[in-house]
């Protein structure tokens, strides 16, 4: 009885401010996690995970796919949004309803109401994968926030400043955590340190990240 009470109260989401315009919504996506992971499998059946090439010719360690009206891609031609999957030539999978509603709820909880994402980048990290510091800046309207959902094994997120050389804060992210940044924080550099070996009951050794954006 005591244990049940303790467990249910300790799993309630809470908000951690990162800086002006950015928050971590701790455990916010936990209740929806199984449905989100099922929806990721459905998306990946249609548009499989792939390791894209950077414009400089490097293979990214993170495997990616997309859903929604616009998908983010990188290849020798550069970074861009496009409406079709380059592997199939088909439109990206529809954004699952559970993705859309979670993204809107999280944006509101982070202070950005009315968020209607038209793009979701799905990142899959295996142990050893990482993402270097970068800005999300291929979108048309920087008044729209970024909503970033973590699922599976833990990772160390880096949240930097307006310049690449600004020393990033280290933010440990766990299953169900959601980072929302916009307004004055919209163009902050961010990245993910090399994923460590770990096991999660729902995802095995992997971490998934859903990044919601308004591309157009
Ligand atoms: C990204 O910036 O696209 C991914 C961030 C993350 O995996 O947490
Ligand atoms: Fe990013």
Residue from 25, 130, 131 to probe ligand 1 pocket by mutation (most atoms less than 8 Å from CB): 131
In a domain, 181, yes or no: yes
- pLDDT score for 1: 41
Q: Indicate if ligand 1 lies below 6 Å from the C-beta of 211.
A: yes
pLDDT attached to residue 9:
46
How many domains is the chain built from? 1
- Residue 106's pLDDT is 98
Catalogue the long-range contacts made by 134-137 (C-beta closer than 8 Å, 24 or more residues apart).
134/189, 134/190, 134/191, 135/187, 135/188, 135/189, 135/190, 136/186, 136/187, 136/190, 136/211, 136/213, 137/187
pLDDT in tens, 187-206: 999 999 999 999 999 999 99
Q: Judge if the beta carbon of residue 209 lies within 6 A of ligand 1.
A: yes
- Return the pLDDT at 10: 56
* Cβ atoms 70, 84 nearer than 8 A: no
Is the whole model's pTM more than 0.75, yes or no?
Answer: yes
Atom of ligand 1 nearest to the CA of 136: 2
Position 1 in a domain: no
Does the residue 119 lie in any domain? Answer: yes
Q: Tell me which of 192, 194, 206, 213 to substitute to probe ligand 1's pocket, judged by most ligand atoms within 8 Å of the beta carbon.
A: 192
Predicted pLDDT at 3: 46
**In angstroms, what is the span from residue 48 Cα to ligand 2's centroid?**
20
Residue 9 located in a structural domain: no
**b/e per residue 42-57 (b: at least 16 CB within 10 A):** ebbeebeebebeeeee
Is residue 65 in contact with ligand 1, taking CB distance under 6 Å?
Answer: no
Task: Specify if 75 maps to a domain.
Answer: yes
Identify the CATH number of the domain in which residue 188 sits.
2.60.120.590
| Residues in the chain with pLDDT values less than 50 | 1-3, 5, 7-9
Residue 67's φ and ψ, nearest 5 degrees, are: -150, 165
Q: Whose CA is nearest to atom 3 of ligand 1?
A: 211
Residue 5 lies in a domain: no
In a domain, 6, yes or no: no
Ligand 2 centroid to residue 187 C-alpha, Å: 10
Report if residue 59 sits inside a domain. Answer: yes
Pocket of ligand 1 contains residue 66 by CB under 6 Å: no
Full residue range of the structural domain in which residue 156 is found = 15-213
């Amino acid at each position: 009885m005591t244990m049940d009470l303790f467990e249910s109260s300790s799993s309630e989401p809470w908000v951690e401010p990162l800086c002006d315009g950015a928050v971590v919504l701790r455990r916010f996506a936990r209740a929806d996690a199984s449905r989100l992971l099922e929806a990721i499998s459905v998306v990946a059946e249609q548009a499989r995970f792939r390791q894209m090439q950077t414009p400089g010719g490097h293979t990214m360690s993170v495997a990616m796919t997309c859903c929604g009206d616009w998908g983010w891609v990188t290849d020798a031609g550069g970074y861009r949004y496009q409406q079709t999957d380059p592997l199939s030539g088909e439109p990206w999978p529809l954004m699952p309803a559970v993705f859309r509603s979670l993204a809107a709820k999280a944006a509101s909880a982070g202070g950005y109401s009315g968020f209607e994402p038209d793009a979701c980048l799905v990142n899959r990290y295996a142990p050893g994968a990482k993402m270097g510091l970068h800005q999300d800046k291929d979108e048309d309207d920087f008044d729209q926030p970024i909503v970033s959902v973590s699922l599976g094994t833990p990772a160390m997120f880096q949240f930097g400043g307006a310049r690449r050389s600004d020393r990033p804060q280290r933010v440990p992210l766990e299953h169900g955590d959601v980072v929302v940044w916009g307004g004055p924080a919209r163009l902050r550099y961010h990245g993910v340190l090399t994923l460590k070996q770990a096991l999660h009951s729902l995802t095995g050794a992997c971490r998934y990240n859903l990044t919601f954006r308004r591309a157009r």
